[in-house]
Amino acid sequence: MKIEQTPLKDCYIINDTVLEDSRGYFFESFNAKKFEQLTGLNVQFVQDNQSASTYGVLRGLHMQTGEHGQAKLVRVLEGSVLDVAVDLRKYSPTFGNAFTIELTAENHKQLYIPRGFAHGFVVLSDRAVFFYKCDNFYNKESELGIMYDDPDLKVDWQLPKDELLLSDKDKKNFYLADILHRL
């Protein structure tokens, strides 16, 4: 396991050692002891989630607020996505900044996203299977959505706007300026 700090405080790229041979490949996708040694963070994941989506599907930007905040460890099992993390911790020196990374089934990269971040992704391949671990249980009352095209965040989703497919729920997300008091 190799950890790489992103430009966002406490947000890490995880590069795992992949062992390949004629039978396929193997890698250790998470090791709590190594993760804590490399980051200083003791994270206990309690919930795993998985989604399948087609080209252009944009999920996000989502977060849980308050005591129900969630740290996530995300990766792609099939296909390719542009993954986006936005630091919305008011006390953070990187507040309001976004980080993007392409996660693919082939590159085996993972992204650790701490509590207090909004998260989303858009599918770049024909189909993608997305998997993530959370360190807190989902709580509907603590859910908050930020508009993917918020001008304050300046996220380049790498696809034309007319190719993006959003849920009805995500079309009603908030702009950051309108919800700062809820963070």
Hey, which residues are catalytic here? 62, 132
CB 86 within 8 A of CB 153: yes
Instruction: Write out the H or E segment, with its range, that includes residue 113.
Output: strand 110-113
Q: How far apart (Å, rounded) are the C-alpha atoms in residues 4 and 12?
A: 6
Edge-first strand listing for the sheet containing 58-64:
98-104, 80-87, 117-123, 58-64, 143-145
180: helix, strand or coil: helix
